[in-house]
Amino acid sequence: MKLNHHFEEISESYLFAEVSRRVQSYRKSHPDHEVISLGIGDVTRPLCTAATQALVKASQEQGTQEGFHGYGPEQGYPFLREAVQSYYGTMGVQVEAEDIFISDGAKSDLGNFLDLFDRENTVLIPDPVYPVYRDTNQMAGRPIRYLNAVRENGFLPMPEEGMEGDIIYLCSPNNPAGVVYTREQLQKWVDFALEHEAIIFFDAAYEGFIRDSSLPRSIFTIPGAEKCAVEFCSFSKLAGFTGLRCGYTVVPHTLVREGMSLRKMWLRRQTTKFNGVPYPVQRAAAAVLTPEGLAQCRESIEVYRQNAALISQTLKECGVWHTGGAHSPYIWLECPGKMDSWEFFDTLLEKADVVGTPGSGFGKNGEGYFRLTGFGTPENTQKAMERFRKVFG
């Protein structure tokens, strides 16, 4: 019997555990301090009414003979796939309903989709980025090349001369840097992938935060992407479904490698290993995509965006270099006074009672940077920024 020893090569899930350890110990030694967290990547506002009404109705249907739903289609109910298809239509993108796969969130699909690929493929992963891309490939022992995401390229790496890879991860709007690729930049990646017969894993989990219509919310707004990209998306950040769990993955039928259709392979994989998302959750997701549901979700996103705008404004006043926040809940800042990420974490906690996320937790290029989020309440964000001004202004 042999275990997968690649698990020994993965670093401990150290970042949030260490954040929580330090916060707990600080709270213990400062029981009278009110600690505010601007470190969370989770939403805090409740579900919109359209979603909760659909949830209740569908749950009650489940208790009736006529309305009962057992196992659903593994790919998702047609009503939700069609709603997602229409949502893409509003971006001017034509996606076939059969190419849309409903999931329990982007995280699972990002990892599971790797089932379709040989372990010898080389993957290109930005550094810093959402750590799931790195960890899921390390678990499979796949060779990883990191793409430097640094201040000089706006934390958005681009194809370079001599670069080679089979799977390319792109995250836009980006976690952690909060920046967004332009159409021209994404076109360069699509051209690169087509030329190298590579496949782009496009993570659009934060697309709902984009307000500038010239910025791409989907890779499929880029010509040629239907032949080289898979898109992972989610209701988590668009509609606060982090606890409810629903997402979707688009695998175009035009995506073919070595004579094999990736859409067919993914369908085969899902019908074997996945039994679908609960019926009431899919009804709630479809309700989110109605004009009424989307308007309600935008209200919450606006609150987060305003929080992010306030953070950005405060940092500007304090002369702290930062990016992101405009089309994302995340603000990425350079630690003042050339502090390293953990040093700044401790300083911010001790001097302002504010918690953030050390950039070094997202990759080596994140060292010296720090992530703050707009996911707090407006009151707490305001309070935290007043304290920030007092300490760093």
Residue choice 43, 58, 205, 372 for contact with ligand PLP (CB under 6 A): 205
Q: Are 231 and 87 in contact (CB under 8 A)?
A: no
Tell whether residue 372 is a contact of ligand PLP (CB under 6 A): no
- Sequence-ordered alpha helix ranges (H) in the chain: 15-29, 49-62, 78-89, 106-112, 132-140, 183-196, 236-239, 262-273, 279-288, 291-317, 341-352, 378-392
Least Å distance, CB 357 to ligand PLP, is 11
Give 201 or 279: the residue with its C-beta nearer to ligand PLP.
Answer: 201
41 sits near ligand PLP (criterion: CB under 6 A): yes
Is residue 134 within the footprint of ligand PLP (CB under 6 A)?
Answer: no
> Minimum distance from CB of 171 to ligand PLP (Å)?
5
Helix/strand/coil (H/E/C) assignment for every residue in 231-300: EEEECHHHHCCCCCCCEEEECCCCCEECCEEHHHHHHHHHHHHCCCCCHHHHHHHHHHCCHHHHHHHHHH
Place of tokens 């021209």: 184
CA angle in degrees (0–180, nearest 5) for 227-229-233: 140
Residues 6+ apart with CB under 8 A from 291: none
Q: What is the DSSP annotation of 25-52?
A: HHHHH-TT---EE----S--SPPPHHHH
Candidate list 36, 54, 100, 106; residue touching ligand PLP; CB under 6 A = 106
Of the candidate residues 36, 38, 51, 107, the single one contacting ligand PLP (CB under 6 A): 107
* 105 near ligand PLP, judged by CB under 6 A: yes
How many residues make contact with ligand PLP (CB under 6 A)?
A: 13
Closest residue by beta carbon to ligand PLP: 105
Q: Which of 83, 102, 149, 171 binds ligand PLP (CB under 6 A)?
A: 171
Q: Using CB under 6 A, pick the residue from 187, 242, 254, 347 that binds ligand PLP.
A: 242
Near ligand PLP by CB under 6 A, which window of 58-66, 103-111, 352-360, 383-391?
A: 103-111
Residue listed under structure tokens 């791409």: 216
Q: Closest CB to ligand PLP among 107 and 387?
A: 107
- In the complex, the residues that contact ligand PLP under the rule CB under 6 A are 41, 105-107, 130, 171, 175, 203, 205, 234, 236, 242, 247
